[in-house]
A and B are shown apart, each in its own frame.
Chain A
Amino acid sequence: MITLKKHLSKVLIAVMFSLIPLYPSPYFRRTLFLVLYFAYLGVAWDILGGYTGQGSFVHAAFVGLGAYTSALLFIWWRLTPYISMFIGVLVSVLFAALIGYLCFRFGLRGHFFFLASIAFLVAMRYSFTNWDLVGGATGLIIPLESSNPWLYMQFEGKLPYCYIMLVFLLIEIYLAEKIVKSKLGYYFIAIKEDELASESLGINTLKYKLVSLMVSAAFTSMAGTLYAFFVGYIAPETVLSDILTVQIVIVAVLGGAGTIYGSLIGAFIMVPLMEYTRAFLGARSGLDLIVLGSLIILIGVLYPHGLIRLLEKIYWRLRMVKGGRNEKCS
């Protein structure tokens, strides 16, 4: 009964979500795509940063690798993104394994892993900027191929992209929940809590940190492919930028790290805020960023464990008022 109820609410939420994109405004749909995109990226980041406790700044590199791999394969051989995204995943996972081994093998953790991961992202961005094969600083334009929109993921409006992103997000959440409830998830959390104690319980911390990074990279990379085909144009500035990583981290951490659903809340609040502050306050350059920055600080001070705590509070309030039962209040 309880499980039925739980699934029912999930189905209802999914149905509600799937109705939202029907609101007929291209700008609204674009924003919605970005919300779903960042929610997806936040969940992927959360597996490594939130659950395993290895905050990473390199994640834009996986977006970039996914985007570039698919874009190049499309330009060269018109390979459908549905296949090339998996090749992108492979590239990203290999790159993740390389940097993960370099960092974790030598015991970089916490802030030091964070710093090292910045270096990898910046190095990749500059090498792509100076690499003619991948378009250098000008980037790559994905040529229009209108013969078969579904095969080449090239649609006229933004609506189909919203649905594709939504489907990916739902699949990702489903898989992420599976992972965190399995042995893998418990081991990730153990590593976050205490690495020495984890070792004493037979957990190969190096291996599981690498696994966590690789899983996170694999999810992230797919979003890169989807983004490339959504925008039709990629450059180091857009898919390999430090700003992108900052946005991913903001969505995951302000939403609530280590919770999966926190990223959804983070994205639904942060992305529209970013978009609409720019739209309404962008005329006076910099004002939007000041407002946005202030809000981020405010949320960080009021809800250091993420906005998901706020929702939990409201949820328990409502339950107590509605049922009048003695529910546990957090």
Chain B
Amino acid sequence: MKNVLEAKNVSMWFGGLQALNNVSITIKEHEIVGLIGPNGAGKTTLLNCITGFYKPLKGKVFYKGMEVTGLKPHKICKMGLTKTFQIIRAFKSLSVLDNVLIGALLRSSKMDEALSISREAIEKVGLRGKEEMTAGNLTPADQRSLELARALATKPDVLLLDEIAAGLNPVEVSGLVETLREINREGLTLIIVEHVMQAIMPIAKKIVVLHGGRKIAEGPPEEIKRNERVIEAYFGEE
């Protein structure tokens, strides 16, 4: 399979704090990759460097063979690479349908076409019947789904999900995992940031572990579970 996304030696500082130190990752087409690590490991920073919200101070990002380092997020999104946010960022005073419609308008300026793209995305994440509800009145789980639907409406090839299961109960998490599997089956490459390992292990084919801004491990879930450096990072040294 082809490499769809590649970050090479990415480093990022905030003032004196080094958030990312020489991190390289390679993502293949149609993969589900889990990006895990303790709080402050640099997971969100890495996503932001890839999607253009930050410009990495060192290193390069390639998407489908083109360099996208430092491009604006909206340009990268138009190329088919986008992310959802760790903190819920639904357009809270708009209806569910309008939220998703704004995403869909990227691919079609015609209202009826954009509307049908939106309804399809809403259906996919299981929000059907809630189209007219105000986003701010949804449960946190539904707001997460809404963000997913909104991102899907921009028709991405690669979707980066930042702690999309945060604040969800186990039932909601398993529902979400099913949705993500389905989306992946349709051809999307997914990169899922989680710090709860249980949520990501069942679906990811590959796990990348960050700790203190460095990549400390990479491989299939079973291997990662046994990796001593990972255990150390999560539970501390003996």
What residues make up the interface of A, taking CB atoms closer than 8 Å to B?
A: 182-183, 186-187, 189-190, 193-194, 196-205
Contact = CB atoms under 8 A, between A and B. Distances in A.
Interface stretch (B97-105, B209-217, B229-237): B97-105
Interface stretch (B30-38, B86-94, B169-177): B86-94
Contacts, number: 72
Nearest to A199: B73
Contacts of A203: 74, 102, 106
Which 9 pairs show the lowest CB-CB distances between chains A and B?
A202-B77, A202-B106, A193-B91, A199-B73, A197-B89, A201-B103, A190-B102, A183-B105, A204-B74
B150 interface: yes
B78 A202 contact: yes
Interface in B46-73: 51-53, 72-73
Interface of B: 51-53, 72-75, 77-78, 82-85, 89-94, 98, 101-103, 105-106, 109, 111, 114, 150-151, 153-154
Contacts of A183: 105, 109, 111, 114
Which one of A190, A193, A201, A203 has the highest number of Cβ atoms from chain B below 10 Å of its Cβ?
A201
Judged by DSSP, the binding face of A is helix
Contact of B92 (A186, A193, A199, A201): A193
Contact of B83 (A190, A193, A198, A200): A200
B85 A202 contact: no
Nearest to B79: A202
Nearest to A193: B91
B105 A187 contact: yes
B89 A186 contact: no
B74 A194 contact: no
A109 to B, nearest CB: 16
B92 A202 contact: no
Given A193-B94, A194-B89, A205-B74, A200 B106 contact: no
A196 B147 CA distance: 13
A153 B83 CA distance: 55
Interface centre among A182, A189, A200 (most CB of B within 10 A): A200
Contacts of A204: 72, 74-75
A199 B153 CA distance: 14
Contacts of A199: 52-53, 72-74, 77
Given A200-B83, A200-B85, A190 B91 contact: yes
